[in-house]
Amino acid sequence: MSTTTKPSPAIAPAPTKRSPLSRHNLGTVVGFEFTRTVKKPRFWIATLAIPVVMAIIFVLIFASNTSTSATAQAQKNASLNFTYTDESGIISEAAAAAMGGSKASDPDTALSAVRAGTSDAYFAYPANPATDTVKVYGTDRGVFANNTYEAVAKQLLAVAAQTTINSPELTAAAGGEVKVQTETFRDGNVSGGFGSALPPLMFLLLFYVVILLLSNQMLNSTLEEKENRVTEMILTTLNPTTLIVGKIISLFLVGLVQVSVFLAPVVVGYVFFRDRLAMPDFDLSSLTFEPGPLIIGALLLLNGFTLFTAVLVAIGAVMPTAKEAGVIFGPLMALIFVPFYAISLILSDPTAPIVQVFTYFPLSAPVTAMLRNGFGTLGTGEAIFIIAMLFILGVLILRLAVHLFRYGSIQYSSKLSITKTLRRRPAELTGK
Amino acid sequence: MTAGGTATEPLVHIKDFRMDFGETTVIKDLSFDVQAGETFGFLGSNGSGKTTTLRALLGIYQPTAGTLHIDGKPFEPRDGARLGYLPEERGLYKKEHVLDVMVYFGRLKGLSKAEARTWSLEYLERVKLADKANLNVDKLSGGQQQKIQLGVTIMNNPELLILDEPTKGFDPVNRRLLMDIIEEQKLAGATVIMVTHQMEEVERLCDRVILLKDGTSRAYGTVSEVQDQFGGTIYRLSFEGALPASDLFEIVSHGPGTADLAPRDGATETAVLRELISSGVGVRSFTTERVSLEDIFISVYGEQNTLAEA
């Protein structure tokens, strides 16, 4: 009966023996999801947009710093011709002369000279500079250059005071120019101070970056199967757990690519153009890497990521379209920023009721706990409880997400009833 | 799904299957078997429960009650490497290249990347879509997407091929191509379950059929057995005058000057013809034919439509 003349591909090659198939399929899902994301032009447009903007900012800073440096040098080289009157008797004429100043005999004459532009500035030192105001008059040179007058007036007073004290030590002490080294102890051991807070707080930064970059893709990951009507093909070929775990792994890999792309210009700028870009010179030796907070921070990051991913995937499984899912997505994302509204309270009074609520409410717990962990106010018992809570909830919600996808994603065009799904009566879901 | 059904154990076994949608019972105590190697026609009007039964068989729905087994056990996705399922609700990853989608599903069904790619390119060549391999799926027409989906369905050389309205959306030429491919699968030893409204295809391809109405089986067996259940024979009549009511026959269909009559209680053609002539009917032609599945279908569902209209 067949009318076909071409060689038929109807008889497929025998499937290669692999064991177990689920592991093979996990790799296949990860590969497919990752490849199709990174090969899309819009992914690279979105990913490269941020470094491009950063590069533009760096160029502007570079140009600005070059200009500012030249201007500062020019100002430094320019001499200031000023007069002064001194009711306090502190100012030394020699010191003033060294800075380009001369004592005026009459304040009105000195001020008139400034008004006329024949003198750059006139400083009127009162009898008691500690309580009374030093008055500075100068010819206008622009908003920024005018600051020079005040700086010179203060500097002249400081030099005069140092000359009067005649002791470098006392001068430094009076000016607060002393070096202080603080050492604190916790459980009998030296604690690292602010240097020990930064490393665990890096996990918080990483959490924000990962969630902000990937949350939208997490939300859409299972919506795509529904919107494209692929669900039935998938459900008869692939365990939904494998599909969802594969998607999460691929999203994480995509996130790593994005973070690498974002960090590349920063690293290049820091290594090669640090001085030109006025980037701070980090002294890594001041950082203290304490194993406890680092392990807790890593676990909070991992379990917090798991929880948020599971919640977003579950929302994707419930909602029929990305547009409708977005209604829930906004408030959910707000929850990871809410703790920052109470950050001063979190740092100063971790026992406050609102801080406790933020610490133990699952969706605000990762951020709050990571903050407290960084600043050393999260007890070990609290940390273990929160880590366990996030892990258990994350796994439970992930299972729920798989269940919702398994039995609810066939409901293509309407919102899923979670209650009905949990009753495991999927036929009811279709509403037929 | 490794050994296939045996003479004593069917490949697909459904017994006392019941499915409720809320308060509504859609399938009631449905039982049937599909033997390994046979082509099975799953017939019924829209909403009669065919797709629901297939989804329950494949674990997409959970049945309210009953047993639904493939090769002696409930279906699990890990058995999908030996299954080819073309769902009624078609869909592919629309923003991906045709070849990438085919290779992806081939990989999921246990083929190596090279095997899946080679097979896909040959298939695309066969269905005249070779030049579309690197286009996004959504750039193809509906019929072209259907071909891709059929390729994805059969690329693993499935032991069990389940096709839910496979000809939906195909023009006659492509329908012929599709039927050729299904026949090839059948010849290669695949068990085929096919939901279709194309009765001539059922008569040509199917070994056995089941006819669903309101969630229950109205007929089940070989095509001949089903025809026998509905009388087996039909008399096609061309006439003048008015047809009388008779205990010897039932008027199955009636047109201007033509009618199909189904004999009652084994009434012979001679007896029917004599009854017509004695009633004053001017018989111009009288032929005996085997009742077609389409006649049976219209007979069963026409009755339903008449009731619905009433």
Give tens-digit pLDDT for B36-84. Answer: 999 999 988 888 889 999 999 998 888 899 999 999 999 988 888 889 9
Q: Which residue among B77, B111, B126 places its CB closest to the CB of A8? A: B126
pLDDT score of B115:
93
Residue B26 sits at the chain A interface (C-beta within 8 Å): yes
Run of H or E including A22: helix A21-38
Please tell us whether the domain made up of A79-175 is placed in CATH 1.20.120.
Answer: no
- Report pLDDT digits (tens) over B85-119: 999 888 899 889 999 999 999 999 889 999 999 99
User: Is a pLDDT exceeding 70 seen at residue A2?
Assistant: no
Q: Which domains does chain B have, with CATH numbers?
A: 12-226 (3.40.50.300), 233-290 (no CATH)
Residue B3 sits at the chain A interface (C-beta within 8 Å): no
Higher pLDDT among residues A47 and A114, named by residue: A114
Contacts of residue B4, defined as CB under 8 A and 6 or more positions apart, other chains included, come to B11, B36, B37, B71, B159, B191
Distance from CA of B141 to the nearest CA of A (A): 15
Contact B125 A6 (CB under 8 A): yes
Cβ atoms of A378 and A366 closer than 8 Å: no
Give Cα separations from A386 to A207, A362, A372, B111 (angstroms): 16, 8, 12, 44
pLDDT score of A289:
79
Distance from CA of A299 to the nearest CA of B (A): 33
Residue B189 sits at the chain A interface (C-beta within 8 Å): no
Contacts of residue B173, defined as CB under 8 A and 6 or more positions apart, other chains included, come to none
Q: Which residue among A7, A25, A430 places its CB closest to the CB of B21? A: A430
Run of H or E including B17: strand B12-21
User: Is a pLDDT exceeding 60 seen at residue B310?
Assistant: no
Q: What does DSSP assign to residue A3?
A: -
Contact A230 B59 (CB under 8 A): no
Helix (H, G, I), strand (E, B) or coil at B91: coil
Q: Which residue among B21, B78, B91 places its CB closest to the CB of A432? A: B21
Region B3-24: mean pLDDT is 78
Run of H or E including B31: strand B24-34
Q: Which residue among B21, B85, B115 places its CB closest to the CB of A233? A: B85
* Domain residue extents for chain A: 79-175, 192-429
- Report pLDDT digits (tens) over A24-38: 789 999 999 999 888
Q: Work out the end-to-end distance of chain B between its first and last CA atoms, rounded to an integer number of angstroms.
A: 47
Edge-to-edge order in the sheet of strand B282-290? B249-255, B258-263, B233-240, B282-290
pLDDT band at B250 (very low <50, low <70, confident <90, very high): confident
Q: Which of A205-209, A276-280, B205-209, B219-223 has the lowest mean pLDDT?
A: A276-280
Region A108-134: mean pLDDT is 91
Residue A239 sits at the chain B interface (C-beta within 8 Å): yes
In angstroms, rounded to a whole number, what is the distance separating the alpha carbons of residues B165 and B169? 9
Q: Which of A87-96, A237-246, A259-268, B75-84 has the lowest mean pLDDT?
A: A259-268
Q: What does DSSP assign to residue A427?
A: H
Interface pTM (ipTM) of the complex? 0.77
Residue B58 sits at the chain A interface (C-beta within 8 Å): yes
CA atoms within a 13 Å half-sphere pointing along the CA-CB vector of B147? 25
Run of H or E including A165: helix A147-165
Q: What is the mean pLDDT of chain A?
A: 80
pLDDT score of B302:
67
Q: What does DSSP assign to residue A90?
A: -
pLDDT score of A53:
82
User: Is a pLDDT exceeding 50 seen at residue A3?
Assistant: no
Residue B181 sits at the chain A interface (C-beta within 8 Å): yes
Distance from CA of B289 to the nearest CA of A (A): 24
pLDDT band at B190 (very low <50, low <70, confident <90, very high): very high
pLDDT band at A6 (very low <50, low <70, confident <90, very high): very low
Cβ atoms of A152 and A136 closer than 8 Å: no
- Report pLDDT digits (tens) over A312-323: 888 887 777 777
Residue A4 sits at the chain B interface (C-beta within 8 Å): yes
Q: Which residue among B19, B108, B125 places its CB closest to the CB of A28? A: B108
- Report pLDDT digits (tens) over B117-151: 999 999 999 999 999 999 999 999 988 998 999 99
Q: Which residue among B59, B63, B119 places its CB closest to the CB of A12? A: B119
Cβ atoms of B80 and A238 closer than 8 Å: yes
User: Is a pLDDT exceeding 70 seen at residue B256?
Assistant: yes
For residue A26, which residues of chain B lie inside 8 Å, CB to CB? none
In angstroms, rounded to a whole number, what is the distance separating the alpha carbons of residues B276 and A340? 94
- Report pLDDT digits (tens) over A184-215: 776 777 666 677 778 888 899 888 888 887 88
Region A272-298: mean pLDDT is 75
For residue B24, which residues of chain A lie inside 8 Å, CB to CB? 432
Q: Which residue among B93, B149, B180 places its CB closest to the CB of A4? A: B180
CB-based burial label for B25 (10 Å; 0-12, 13-18, 19+): middle
pLDDT score of A5:
38
Chain B interface mutation, best of A6, A22, A28, highest count of B Cβ atoms under 10 Å: A28
pLDDT score of A421:
57
pLDDT band at A1 (very low <50, low <70, confident <90, very high): very low
Task: Name the residue of chain B whose CA is nearest to A228's CA.
Answer: B91
Residue B133 sits at the chain A interface (C-beta within 8 Å): no
In angstroms, rounded to a whole number, what is the distance separating the alpha carbons of residues A318 and A408? 7
Run of H or E including A268: helix A240-273
* 3-state DSSP helix/strand/coil % of chain A, to nearest 5: 65, 5, 30
Distance from CA of B219 to the nearest CA of A (A): 24
pLDDT score of A233:
87
* 3-state DSSP helix/strand/coil % of chain B, to nearest 5: 35, 30, 35
* Window B:87-116, CB contacts with A under 8 Å: 87, 89-94, 96, 100, 104-105, 107-112, 115
Contacts of residue A141, defined as CB under 8 A and 6 or more positions apart, other chains included, come to A148
Number of H helices, E strands in chain B: 9, 13
Q: What is the mean pLDDT of chain B?
A: 86
* Window A:372-431, CB contacts with B under 8 Å: 407, 410, 412, 424-428, 430-431
Residue A39 sits at the chain B interface (C-beta within 8 Å): no
Share of chain A above pLDDT 70, in %: 81
Structure tokens at B203: 């008569």
Higher pLDDT among residues A63 and A352, named by residue: A352
Burial call A106-117: b when 16+ CB within 10 Å, e when fewer: eeeebbebbeee
Contact A232 B89 (CB under 8 A): yes
Cα dihedral B30, B35, B36, B38, rounded to 10, equals -100
Q: Which residue among B62, B78, B115 places its CB closest to the CB of A21? A: B78
